[in-house]
Amino acid sequence: MNLSDKELERYARHIVLPQVGGVGQRRLKAASLAVVGAGGIGSSVIPALAGAGVGRLTIIDGDKVELANLHRQPLFREADAGQAKAELAASFVRKLNRHIVVKPVQDHIGTENAKQLLAGHDLVIDGSDNFATRLAVSDASVELGIPLVSAAAVQFQGQVGLFRSKPCYRCFVGDAFDADDCDNCAELGVLGALSATVGSFAALLAVNAIVGIGEDQSGRIQVFDGEKLAWRVMSIPADPACKACGSG
């Protein structure tokens, strides 16, 4: 997959990096990513990936813009209230970078359709706002063998990690939240700048994974405390009894 003169000019600050170069930039162009959620996390992830030159982006979100989203979702404007987030996010991508093929999916993702929506992608980034969705996305990613960056931000606490099937996100959180949307922003609140911090980290994790920068980060969760302003890393052991990736 070659880069045109315009693309070489556009991505010059990437290509000059020895860790990226022309090879890395072509890997980004060849990559097809699914982004679940055009919300607080997605508002950082989607512009970062589109700007970075990820060739194909599928944006999955069934929600419409509400006034209470705007403190953490700079993809949207006041005038967008009531409009579909997936379409608006896709329109943002097209305006930012003509070289990206973007596909909006205005639908809620769940156990019934996750495999179908995620199949064919090289990486999934999940920035959805509840455990049931995150588990459905994780289980489908494990079944399809697609690496997953899972990111979440609630109140002052953020977490983000890369999973390559085993251990998986379900090994980390267990089965208790399968049908439970108890832990979401609507009820608990979230600091807008925290979503942006975690979303930017998720985008960096994804870009590094696609290009092959640094050591493999899979199986580790990065936890961010937005009050202490400190990151901490946890290694996730694979759960042999995990419903998704275990043998039992």
Would you tell me which residues interact with Zn ion (CB under 5 A)? Answer: 168, 170-171, 242, 244-245
Nearest residue to 60 via CA among 114, 101, 98, 96: 114
Query: Rounded to the nearest whole angstrom, what is the least distance from the CB of residue 173 to Zn ion in the complex?
Result: 10
Query: Rounded to the nearest whole angstrom, what is the least distance from the CB of residue 140 to Zn ion in the complex?
Result: 13
For the record, the structure tokens of 104 come out as: 């909006």
User: What letter represents residue 144's amino acid?
Assistant: L
Angle ∠(94,70,224) on CA atoms, nearest 5:
95
Helix axes 42-52, 85-96, angle to 10 degrees: 30
Query: Rounded to the nearest whole angstrom, what is the least distance from the CB of residue 37 to Zn ion in the complex?
Result: 21
> Which CB, 129 or 139, lies closer to Zn ion?
139
> Which CB, 86 or 171, lies closer to Zn ion?
171
Strand residue runs (E) in the chain: 32-36, 56-60, 101-105, 123-126, 148-154, 157-163, 220-225, 230-235
Three-state DSSP class for 27? Answer: helix
Query: Rounded to the nearest whole angstrom, what is the least distance from the CB of residue 166 to Zn ion in the complex?
Result: 6
For the record, the structure tokens of 182 come out as: 């108890």
> Which CB, 132 or 244, lies closer to Zn ion?
244
> Which CB, 50 or 171, lies closer to Zn ion?
171
Residue number with the shortest CB distance to Zn ion? 242
Query: Rounded to the nearest whole angstrom, what is the least distance from the CB of residue 248 to Zn ion in the complex?
Result: 11
> Which CB, 156 or 177, lies closer to Zn ion?
177
The DSSP 8-state label assigned to residue 69 in this structure reads G
Question: Count of H helices and E strands in the chain?
Answer: 10, 8
> Which CB, 176 or 188, lies closer to Zn ion?
176
For the record, the structure tokens of 215 come out as: 């050591």
Query: Rounded to the nearest whole angstrom, what is the least distance from the CB of residue 167 to Zn ion in the complex?
Result: 5
